Amino acid sequence: MSITRLIGLRGGLRVGGINCDVRANVTIPVDGSREIDAICYDPLVIGEATIKVSSVDEAEREVGKLLENARAAEKFFNRRVYALVLAVETVPEQVAEYLRRRAGELGIVLVLGREYS
């Protein structure tokens, strides 16, 4: 699922007061190739989107994938990432709390859809 569909961006994203023109499902040729769910080129914003995260382990894998994509993008574009965005459509409440903590620690913009118990 593309991040634009998941959080209803319809071609744009506002992060830290900056409007971004978002492109979905972009592949960059770094370390083989890396598919990035959502990217804004100026400023450089990297997004990862998933429909469901059921456990802390899955949450950590999604965070790890986002961080790896950010490193690859920085290497490819030879500049720093301005922001990271993680979007999850459905997530258990306990995992949502974990994601909020991790996102806060890492400076990730977190977008959560439905939380359930």
Q: Per-residue pLDDT tens for 67-105?
A: 999 999 999 999 999 999 999 999 999 999 999 999 999
**Domain residue limits at 56:** 3-116
Q: Please write the tens of the pLDDT for every residue from 13-70.
A: 665 666 778 899 999 999 899 999 999 998 999 999 999 999 999 999 999 999 999 9
SS3 readout for the chain:
CCHHHHCCCCCEEEECCEEEEEEEEEEECCCCCEEEEEEECCCCEEEEEEEECCCHHHHHHHHHHHHHHHHHHHHHHCCCCCEEEEEEEEEEHHHHHHHHHHHHHHCEEEEEEEEEC
Q: How many domains does the chain have?
A: 1
Instruction: CATH number of the domain at 43, please.
Output: 3.40.1350.10
Question: Where residue 106 falls among pLDDT bands split at 50, 70, 90?
Answer: very high
